[in-house]
Amino acid sequence: MPECNGPADAAAYNRRMQSAWFDATLAWISAHPHAAGGLVFLIAFCDALAVVGIVVPALPLLFAVGTLIGLGHLDGPYALLCAAAGAFAGDALSYWIGHRWGPAMRELWLFKRYPGLLDRGEQMFRRHGSKGIVTARFVGAVRPFVPAVAGMLHMPLKRYAPASAFAALSWAAVFLAPGWIFGASYDAVAAVADKLALVLLGLFAALALVWALVLYTWRWFAAHADNLLARALLWTRAHPRLGRYAAALIDPRRPESASLAVLATCLFAAAWLWAGFTAWLLVRGEPLLFDRDVQAVMFSLRNPLADRTMAALAAIGSAPALGAGSLAALAWLAWRKRWMAAAHWLAAIAVGLLITVGLGALVDMPRPSTAAAGFGFPSIAVTMTTVVFGFFAVLVAREFPGRQRVWPYLVAGVATALVAFARLYLGAHWLSDVIAGMLLGVVWVLVLGIAYRRHSTRSFLIRPLVAAFYGCFALALAWHAPRSTQATLAQFEPPPPERVLDDGQWWRQGLGEARHFDLQARGDLSLLERRLRAAGWSVQAPADWIAVLGVLDDSHGPAQQPVLPLALDGHPERLLLRRAGARADRIEVLRIWPAPVRLASGMPLWVGRYEHMQARRQLRLLTLWQPEPHDHALPADLRTLAGSSGEGERLLQARVGPD
């Protein structure tokens, strides 16, 4: 949701996108449209070149180009043809290289570094022929190698050129389309998302990072497990005193030795990172610089819809959700008499919790301003999520066939990342608390994993265990998350304003804020609500995700569509009022928030903003209320609020109009 920290003319602001660098870019593109086409050609050309295309970030660059097309700053068909021509020319150069050198191309320094990608490209081409040229255009790192393979295998030019031209044109259209649609619907996206979109993008980036880290780490160790085992054996022979302890873990006669060597290597790396990171924090005795920066960014992104989403995601690391899955797994292991697995499972959770709570009691770190409760170093929620999901992955992963063994670890990484991001967003922890919690959880999981793998070689049927753990966890989460959302949000409310204003000064001069407010009121908000209801205003309940999804319902008229919430300094509206306008597609809206300052007397202070809004159909999919330029006078009923009023002991003083 857009943050209300500027003029109410949100739609006009979104259309102008007032940013110096962006304005300069648009001015350059407007003044040099042909040069902009050349830039698009160059991006697509470099992406298509063999080897070079691996490192060119074509997707985000072409998304930006598509956005400029949608905003009307670049001609769409011209940019599409430039991108297609660049892709075709780059593929043609790769085809010529392959045709010129033939099989000797493999010895060129450009290709010797990536023999695996070249082999994959050759397999795809041999399997699909001309179709492979089109398919490869949309297959990541293989894309720039297939045209070179086609040339190397002497595919006739009259067969290659049409397939390459079609592939280049379709690729350009597909890669430009998302940005094109985004730019064309920017007002709709800004009205629905704005800072919510930034939060979701940040969450997606965190998940992608963890996913890639887990996946590629697992693949690397899977490919190098035997080599690690051989090196470990050589080390034990070269260092007989210390080696005898390591030899107990990596007996080459045991089938588990390779996985134990991998776990031991990971343990060494994770323990070293955790010890070094924790020592660094303890020596400083205060949060790191990036801790405060991340906390400030997260606080600036607070908005009502994202608040509810993050509070629900934080429930993944709650005791009811983790406890339900853990008890279900323990019960199944006990029922099947897997006593060794059950003992390690119980030790992982119980001892992990004791270690985390003990460290939290021993380490005294300043807490974020929003962490009035639920704070600790390291993060208990993040650590226990890592331990529970991580050790469960150790229990069941080896029972999966082949490459499927990575899935339990990926689930553990995703669950931990969701909890970590949600608690960072809510302000429950510093980033260093979250990192330390993850590392501590990984270290403990690896310690228990090595102990379990060393003493247990029996396999067992895992499908019932997997269903019991994940199923009970999901059911408990579905039950607990909706019921805990409000309590979680109350626990991590934004802090009260730091600025204190004398009551008399406020009454004479107002807030003295640069931000525009049409109403300032001190006293009982219910009295203000009653007076506004009497004047024909109606109160809209806070819009949740179900109400927001209602904008997609064609059967609802504009009057039934909700006004989307806004935030002021992290606080949602305390009161949102609306009434019908002169036409069916227009309404008047009054938003009221807690003021960004405190009064010295302690009386509650409120600020409000009056807007005219119009219903607009966006993308033929949804109807949104969007604000009109703030050039209208306040209605008479709002102007009459100025002054003092009261009912019994309830008092209200209001100032109307800007300071």
The CB density around residue 156, as the number of other CB atoms within 10 Å, is 8
Smallest CA-to-CA distance from 288 within 298, 302, 301, 278 is with 278
Distance CA 611, CA 591 (A): 8
Q: What percent of the chain has pLDDT over 90?
A: 14
> Which residue type occupies 59?
L
The CB density around residue 215, as the number of other CB atoms within 10 Å, is 15
Expressed in angstroms, the distance from the first to the final Cα of the chain is: 26
List Cα–Cα distances, 78 to 89, 152, 170, 351, in angstroms. 16, 33, 15, 64
Residue 150 has pLDDT above 60, yes or no: yes
Which residue did the predictor score with more confidence, 473 or 352? 473
The CB density around residue 629, as the number of other CB atoms within 10 Å, is 12
Distance CA 598, CA 604 (A): 8
* pLDDT per residue as tens digits for the range 512-571: 877 888 899 998 888 888 889 988 899 988 777 676 666 656 667 777 788 888 888 888
* pLDDT per residue as tens digits for the range 339-352: 888 888 898 889 88
Please give the pLDDT value at position 21.
47
Are the C-beta atoms of 3 and 300 separated by less than 8 Å?
Answer: yes
Are the C-beta atoms of 65 and 176 separated by less than 8 Å?
Answer: yes
Which pair of tokens denotes residue 112? 């010797």
Please give the pLDDT value at position 246.
52
Please, how many CA atoms are within 13 Å of residue 539, restricted to the half-sphere of its CB? Answer: 15
List Cα–Cα distances, 199 to 297, 300, 421, 609, in angstroms. 10, 10, 10, 25
Rounded mean pLDDT of 267-292? 71
* pLDDT per residue as tens digits for the range 175-189: 888 888 777 766 555
Rounded mean pLDDT of 98-124? 70
| pLDDT band for position 296 (cuts 50, 70, 90) | confident
Predicted structure pTM score = 0.69
Please give the pLDDT value at position 444.
84
Q: Which helix (H) or strand (E) holds 607?
A: strand 605-618
| pLDDT band for position 642 (cuts 50, 70, 90) | confident
Distance CA 333, CA 345 (A): 9
Residue 357 has pLDDT above 70, yes or no: yes
List Cα–Cα distances, 523 to 323, 503, 646, in angstroms. 45, 12, 9
**Helix and strand numbers, DSSP H then E, in the chain:** 26, 12
Of the ranges 271-275, 385-389, 462-466, which one carries the lowest mean pLDDT score? 271-275
Mean pLDDT of the chain: 78
Which pair of tokens denotes residue 135? 């398919």
Are the C-beta atoms of 624 and 192 separated by less than 8 Å?
Answer: yes
Distance CA 246, CA 252 (A): 12
Residue 22 has pLDDT above 60, yes or no: no
Please give the pLDDT value at position 451.
72
Query: Would you give the distance in Å from CA 382 to the centre of its chain?
Result: 16
Residue 457 has pLDDT above 70, yes or no: no
Please give the pLDDT value at position 183.
74
Which pair of tokens denotes residue 414? 């995703």
Are the C-beta atoms of 567 and 302 separated by less than 8 Å?
Answer: yes
Bridge partners, residue 3, by sequence: 567
